[in-house]
Amino acid sequence: MSSLATIEERVTALEQQLAKLKAERNGEGRKSGWIDKICGSFKDDPEFDEIVKLGREYRQSDRDQGDS
């Protein structure tokens, strides 16, 4: 009877592992990094839009000075 219990335990462990692998493949249960936590947090934020605009203007002015 112990061999049957062992087989049942092994099948249960395999089923759990398979479920975990399927979830990971589908992006579920994924540990998110810092970028995933902040992604979208500035959506529709006019101040952030201004920061992006100013950064773009600064980078462009730096390129323009390099062409001289």
Query: What is residue 65's predicted lDDT score, i.e. its pLDDT?
Result: 82
Sign of CA dihedral 24, 29, 35, 41: positive
pTM: 0.42
Per-residue model confidence as pLDDT tens for the chain (68 residues): 567 779 999 999 999 999 999 888 877 655 667 787 888 899 999 999 999 999 999 999 988 887 65
Distance CA 32, CA 8 (A): 34
Residue entry with tokens 């995933």: 36
Angle (CA) 40 42 46, round 5° = 140
Q: Where are the domains of the chain?
A: 1-30, 31-68
Contact yes or no for 48/56 (Cβ under 8 A): no
